[in-house]
Amino acid sequence: MTLDKLKNILEAVLLAAERPMKVPQLETLFKEDEDKPTRDEIRQAINDLGEEYAERGFELKQVASGFRLQVKQDFAPWVGKLWEDKPARYTRALLETLSLITYRQPITRGEIEEVRGVSVSSNIIRTLLERDWIRVLGHKDVPGKPTLYGTTREFLDYFNLKTLDELPSLAEIKDIDQIYPELALEEAANTEQSESEPTEEQSADDQKDGPDGVEAIESEVETETETETEIEESEASSVAGA
């Protein structure tokens, strides 16, 4: 098989694939071919394709799950106009929680709350689990057996990372916005996800057992609490009444 034909095949496969593909996976596509390429030849073809795309609107990117073809970040503003739905917006609280899990994994919910100084909303944990950005790694061997959380391969793929080693060091980070610049932070107070004060249900979250801990989180009863604005108004009313 010629190199040009191999590159054309790989290009077609990566365009059609709905997920990143590793070299061994690509190699299995040729197992029935008489003149099947070697693994080194596949790697060479991939490298050549990457160089050929250097001046194109898309690129061949290697992430944790393998290689994929994707639009270059520089052209995202125009490509994004193809979809009417606006991208999801994430609160600062969610990103801070995700950052702590990323940099300090494995970590429990209680340890996250200790660092942040506030209770972690169950909605934040649920959102991260549903997005497959975090997963349950097990339970810490301490009284209560709190759930340990860590990031996933999907998290690495989403942020165009091959490994966690590619993340900036904490010393290089001055602000949460610099960690995930492609995520739109929702700063408006009226849309910010309010974080509730510790309740019995939330405090017991890390102590719930189960095959993977997710069922316990999803069955948790949400407790309505006052937002920071309501608390300030309540305090102001008390002062005025005094």
Looking at residue 186, its pLDDT comes to 46
Looking at residue 191, its pLDDT comes to 37
| Nearest to 134, CA basis, from 95, 187, 186 | 95
Looking at residue 237, its pLDDT comes to 45
Task: Name the region of 66 (left: φ>0; alpha: ψ -120 to 50; beta: rest).
Answer: left
Q: How far apart are CA 192 and CA 170, in angstroms?
A: 25
Q: How far apart are CA 211 and CA 98, in angstroms?
A: 23
Assess contact for 178 and 185: CB atoms under 8 A: no
Looking at residue 76, its pLDDT comes to 86
**pLDDT by 10s per residue, the chain, length 242:** 899 999 999 999 999 998 999 999 999 999 888 888 999 999 999 999 999 999 999 999 999 999 999 999 899 889 888 887 776 778 889 999 999 999 999 999 999 999 999 999 999 999 999 999 999 999 999 999 999 999 999 999 999 899 999 888 776 665 555 555 545 444 433 334 444 444 333 444 444 444 344 333 333 333 333 344 444 444 444 434 44
Looking at residue 7, its pLDDT comes to 94
Number of H helices, E strands in the chain: 11, 7
Q: How far apart are CA 182 and CA 159, in angstroms?
A: 9
Looking at residue 82, its pLDDT comes to 87
Residues 6+ apart with CB under 8 A from 225: 194, 196, 197, 199
Domains of the chain: 3-79 (1.10.10.10), 89-224 (1.10.10.10)
61's enclosing H/E stretch is strand 58-63
